[in-house]
Amino acid sequence: MTIDGSTRIIAIVGDPTAHIKGFARYAEAIAARGANAVYLAMHVAPDGLAPFLAGMRAVRNLAGLVLTIPHKIAALAFATPDEAARRAGSANMLRPVAGGWQASNCDGAGFLAAARAAGIVFAGRRVQVL
C-alpha cells in the first residue's frame, strides 16, 4: 500500500479505542481491494469531540468517520441526520459535506440484515438496538 497526498482517510472514533478489533478487518478489506485509503482508530475523549470534529472538517482527503461509544448520540449535535440517524437518535457514521457533517446510522439495518440471514423475522415488531 502506498500512502500519498490523495489517500482517503476513514477513521473509527471512540473512547477508548484500544479494545476495538473489528476495524482491522475493514482496513484489510480496503487494502485487498487496492483502494487508495486507510482506516485508522482515533481515541477521542468526550470533551474533545467538538474540537476534533472542527479540526477534521479541514482535512480535504477525509472520506468519513465511524463513531462508537461514547460519541454516537453526541455527534448529532454537530451534524445533519439522515432518516436512519434521526429515528435512532444517534449516528455511527459522519460524512463531510458542504458546510458541515451528514450523520447516518446503519446499526439498525445491520442488525436486521444479520437477523434475516439467521432466519429471524421481526415483521410488525419494534426492536431496540442498544
In the prediction, which pLDDT does 122 show?
84
Which of 72, 88, 91, 101 is labelled catalytic? 72
| Distance (Å, whole) CA 72 – CA 74 | 6
In the prediction, which pLDDT does 73 show?
97
Which of 126, 67, 62 shows the shortest CA–CA distance to 97?
Answer: 62
Which residues does the chain have with pLDDT short of 50?
Answer: none
Which of 65, 74, 61 shows the shortest CA–CA distance to 41?
Answer: 65
In the prediction, which pLDDT does 113 show?
87
In the prediction, which pLDDT does 54 show?
97
Per-residue model confidence as pLDDT tens digits over 19-29: 888 878 888 89
Q: Where are the domains of the chain?
A: 8-105
Q: The domain 8-105 belongs to what CATH superfamily?
A: Leucine Dehydrogenase, chain A, domain 1 (3.40.50.10860)
Beta-carbon contacts of 96 under 8 Å, excluding residues fewer than 6 positions away, are: 56, 57, 59, 62, 64, 102
HSE-up of residue 28 (Cα within 13 Å, Cβ side):
5
pTM of the model: 0.87
Query: The C-alpha cell of 100 is what?
Result: 458541515
In the prediction, which pLDDT does 58 show?
95
In the prediction, which pLDDT does 129 show?
67
Is 21 tagged catalytic? no
